[in-house]
Chains A and B, each alone.
Chain A
């Protein structure tokens, strides 16, 4: 079946503009993660959704960042008033339900460049 998909693959924007990044998880996966990876760095956790539970937003770096997940499937990460330091690859991952499920499946990422 299809894996995790993300769109757009690349996004170039001007400082101060808002951007929306989309993630389509694997069908049936109730857990969804967003990460950010700056150039040459590891992954930085941003937010986690699990079913209908309140999301874990503890990794969001500022109130300019928000995310939602509609219908327990597609998720959108929104960055308002983008800054140059927001430039990074934004990765989405999903995981199947169940206590024994440990494997996250990652999408190809969206490369965001803020000019």
Chain B
């Protein structure tokens, strides 16, 4: 199983950018990189995904290293509503999404 490694927790000040790192050194060429987040007492929600190129959407940006062994989720301006656990997940071309323990993001007002 392709695994990911993330810091257990991070803090950010409100209105500032946040860079959430993820290492996935055993990634294979066909694994997509997904990010989900889980707000307190809720199910996870999709944030963004990519394969090789950097990606942007209304929620965040995803920067993927050239060797694909790491990626960074970028929240451009953190708000209190962004406080959540962020999961970096590898999805092989198959069924399973491998969730790790994620990074718990605290946003400081």
Interface segment, one of B15-23, B60-68, B76-84, B92-100: B92-100
Residue of A nearest to B104 (CB): A40
List chain B residues, Cβ under 8 A from A42.
Answer: 87, 99-102
CA distance in complex: A59, B96 (Å): 9
Nearest residue (CB) in B for A3 is B43
Range of interface residues on B (Cβ < 8 Å): 10 to 19
Tally of chain A residues near chain B (CB < 8 A): 23
Q: A45-B99, A102-B91, A104-B36 are in contact. List 13 more A-B contacts (CB 8 A).
A: A35-B99, A41-B101, A42-B101, A45-B98, A48-B96, A50-B95, A91-B43, A102-B32, A102-B34, A103-B49, A104-B97, A106-B44, A108-B43
Contact present for B32 and A109 (CB under 8 Å) = no
Distance between B93 CB and nearest chain A CB, rounded to angstroms: 9
- Interface residue ranges, A against B (CB under 8 Å): 4, 33, 35, 41-45, 48, 50, 56, 58-59, 91, 93, 102-109
How long is the Cα–Cα vector from A42 to B88 in the complex, in angstroms? 11
In chain B, what residue has the closest Cβ to A49? Answer: B95
Nearest CB on A from B71, distance (A): 15
| A93 CA to B91 CA, complexed, in Å | 15
